[in-house]
Every structure is written in structure tokens, then in C-alpha cells.
Structure 1
Amino acid sequence: MKQIQKGNECQAVTDWRTENATVPQNLVYGRGGFPVEKVLEALLAEQGHLCAYTLKRIDLKAAHIEHLKPQRTCRAEDAQRELANVALSREDVAWYNLVACFPAPNSPAPPGYGAVKKDKWWPDAGAAGFVSPLDADCETRFSFGLNGEIAPANAADLAAGETIKAIGLDDSRLMELRKRAILEMGLHPRSPQPLKSPAKVRQLIAAWPYRDGSGKYREFCVPLRAAALSHLAKLEGRANVGAA
């Protein structure tokens, strides 16, 4: 995962809240003319056009609005609040709970990983049992191998292990996509054109945290950075290399 820094909700959502303020039953995701397309556009821009879970490149035609805490859980919790006569959280329309993910809604043959795999999963431990792309440390809680493998960076990190399993981040098809990206960047021992210049590899490592001129991050930038650090260590004759 790459950390997503959430900003203010898009104006379309603010306007939707205002328009439905006198009809509280409409303040639910999908009701009252909820501005799905404008929200998705704003989420894509916020995330640099990367899927919040898989880091695949996405656009309006290949993404949907995902709830980090599933809608079912949000609404069940609000039902309990309503019974207790306390204010509703309405997390199913909270900006901090919305991200853009692959694939598009109702895709004919969605893959068994990412948001499709996660579906309605929510850990018994709540947010503490889930590594969210909003977490400041989410990029460091997973380790990646040159063949696209993924594992918890710390074997004792149970939440990282459960997140990998629940989202299918270790699915063979997704691992193959990560491996292909590493090969194409010349960071794999079997790359057709391996990078041989340590200076060039350092430039790539320095550039990957940033967006390009169109506001997009490089696809699979986090595992690519891990591969680049490993590749640099080999070029410089070191067994290991720390985070740059």
C-alpha cells in the first residue's frame, strides 16, 4: 500500500449534504442523488490514480468507490446508535472512509484480489486489525520480494498478515503484475535490460514518492522502491540496504 493523505471532502459531497439536510434518510451512500462520478474523480486525484489496495493504475473506467470500513458495518453500527438514541456517525458517506479501488463496478470477471476479495470483511478487532492505506506507517508494514511476493515486514504483525489474506495481496496474479513491473524497470536479475548505474537507481528511488506532471504516481511504486533498494545493494556490493 501507499499512504493516502485525505484532504477535505470534495465540494460535490458537501453540496449533497446541504441539499439533503432536511431529509436525513437520504444522507446514506447511494441515496439523494449521491454524486458518484464526481466523488470518484476526486478520489482518483487524491490517490494519484492508484488503487488504494493493490497499487494498480486506475481511472474512471477501471475503478469504483470503496468503503474502508464496509457499508454493512457502518450501517449496522448506526442502527445500534439509533436504538441507543445517540448521534449517527454516517461513516458510509464519511470522506475519510472512501477511497478509489480497482475494478470498475460490476466488472464481468473481477479478479480474486483487492476490493473484490475484501468485500464485507472487517476484523473483529476493528480498525486495529486492519492495515489501512490511510495509516501513516502502512508503507513500512509490508515487505516485497523481487518476484512480487509480499509478507508482513514484522512476522509478529498480525494485522498486516490478516490484511494480506483478506485483500488477497498475495494472489499469484497480483504478484505476477508486480514482478512484471520490476522486470520492466530493470530491477530484476532476469530483466532484459538491467539497470547497471547506481546513480540511476538512486534517482528512481528518490523520484518514486512523487507524482508525475499529470498528478499520477507510478504504478506499483512501493514494491518497485523495495526492488530498487535491493538492486542498489547488489550493485554496490552490500548484502543489505536500509530504507533510503
Structure 2
Amino acid sequence: MRKIIKRNEPIALSNWKRHNPNGHYPDLSHVERQAIRDSCLKEQYYLCAYCCQRIDDKNSHNEHIQAQSVAPNQMLNFHNIVASCNQSKQCGDAHGSKTIPLTPLMDECETELKFYISGEVKGITTRATDTIKILNLGNGNKALINKRKQLLDALIFMHSESPEELQLLDDELLQILMEEINQPQDGQLSAFAPILQNILRQFLKK
């Protein structure tokens, strides 16, 4: 995950809430829902809030971190909404109405999940492990692990390194590589860029 810094809600949502003080999320039109998604995509640099694969307005949906059925008073709170991929049995689709103990709105989402070049992920804390299971981000999702591995390798090679050579880089080169990977292009980050950042931070600590 990558920590999401929520900004002001879109004007279309503010206007709708002003004219519909007793309204609910299901009452929103396509216009307001699209405005929410566009704002979330920009905040997230076009990465899924949970798995960090690339998304756009066609293959994503508005995801309530606190489910609407569990926290109806939060269904129109923009700070409770992120953009999730549409992958079946993963991320937003897997979430349902369960409570997510470690969310992408928390600083710790970048430190309590430990990723590997192999594409695998482990939770450092109990809540991280529970979150991996709830969102189906771990070993039970071989397709996601393989996708992570392939795109991590491609991202590494894009920056003129090989996966095997990463651990041999000195701290200065690792820092430069992290800065390059964390630099958006046209407002977008590369797929799984935060995952590679997570791995590089581990190498820096050695």
C-alpha cells in the first residue's frame, strides 16, 4: 500500500450534499460518482488503494473503507472513499463489509507490510496479516503474486538494474533509485511502484 493523503472533496459532491442534506450515497448520480472517482485517482496517482496496480476510471470503482452497511454515517464522507481495482475476489471486491484493520489512510500501511522481489507479501503485525487476508493480497492469490513479480522485474530493469543486483547497490544509489521510482509521470506512478519502494527501504536498513 501507499499512504493516501486525502484532499478536499470534489465540488460536485459538495454541491450535491448541500442540496440533499438527507441524501445517501446510492442517491448520487453518475456525475457525482465520477467526480469522486476522478479525485481519488488523482490522489492515488492512478494506483489501486490496496494492491497498487495501475487503474483508471474504466477499471476501478469507488470503495468505502468503512463499508456503507457498517458506517452509514460515513458513506458520503470523501475521506472514507478511495479508488479500488475491479479485480474479482481481491481488494474492494474481497472487502465486503468486513473491517480493514490497516488502511491506506494510515502511515503504517507503508511499514507494516513487507514485500519481496518474489511478489510475495507478509504482515509484520497482526493487523497487517489480517488485512492481507481480508483483501486477498497474499499467498492465496497466486495471480496477484505473479503479476507483482513480473511488473516489479520490469520496473527494476526500466531503471537499468537487475533484481539480483539491487541488494548490491550502496545506500546512495538506492536513494536515487527510490526517488526516481517515486516520481510521477503526468500525475501517474508506475504499477506497483510503492511495492518496490517498500523493498528498497528494506535494503537500506541492512
SS at the partner of 1:64?
A: strand
SS at the partner of 1:137?
A: helix
8 Å CA contact 2:110–2:198 kept in 1: the answer is no
The 2-side partners of 1:42 and 1:163 are apart by 25
1:70 aligned partner:
67
Unaligned 5+ segments in structure 2 are none
2:137 aligned partner:
169
The 2-side partners of 1:197 and 1:140 are apart by 21
1:226 aligned partner:
198
Relative to structure 1, the CA distance from residue 32 to residue 5 in structure 2 (aligned partners, 3 Å threshold; closer, same or farther) is: closer
Answering whether residue 26 of structure 2 is matched by residue 30 of structure 1, we say: yes
Alignment of 1:1-244 (within 5 A): 1-21=1-21, 24=22, 27-33=23-29, 35-75=32-72, 90-103=73-86, 110-122=87-99, 130-153=101-124, 157-170=125-138, 171-184=141-154, 185-186=156-157, 187-189=162-164, 201-212=174-185, 214-229=186-201, 241-242=204-205
Q: Which amino acid aligns with 2:44?
A: Q
Q: Which amino acid aligns with 1:117?
A: A
Q: Deviations over 1:94-121 (max 9, x none)?
A: 0111000101xxxxxx432211111221
TM-score by length of 2: 0.86
Q: Deviations over 1:152-188 (max 9, x none)?
A: 13xxx21111000000111211111111122112342
8 Å CA contact 1:49–1:59 kept in 2: the answer is yes
Unaligned 5+ segments in structure 1 are 76-89, 104-109, 124-129, 234-240
Q: Deviations over 1:71-126 (max 9, x none)?
A: 11013xxxxxxxxxxxxxx20110111000101xxxxxx43221111122126xxx
Q: Deviations over 1:189-215 (max 9, x none)?
A: 3xxxx6787566542212333322x11
The 1-side partners of 2:35 and 2:28 are apart by 15
Q: Which amino acid aligns with 2:178?
A: I
The 2-side partners of 1:117 and 1:72 are apart by 15
**Higher RCO, Cα 8 Å, sep 6+:** 2
Moved over 3 A (4+): 194-202, 226-230
Q: 1:61: Cα distance to partner?
A: 0.6
Larger gyration radius, structure 1 or structure 2: 1
Q: 1:51: Cα distance to partner?
A: 0.5
8 Å CA contact 2:114–2:199 kept in 1: the answer is no
Q: Which amino acid aligns with 1:145?
A: Y
Relative to structure 1, the CA distance from residue 119 to residue 158 in structure 2 (aligned partners, 3 Å threshold; closer, same or farther) is: same
| Matched length | 196
The 1-side partners of 2:82 and 2:90 are apart by 16
8 Å CA contact 1:181–1:224 kept in 2: the answer is no
SS at the partner of 1:71?
A: coil
The 1-side partners of 2:193 and 2:29 are apart by 36
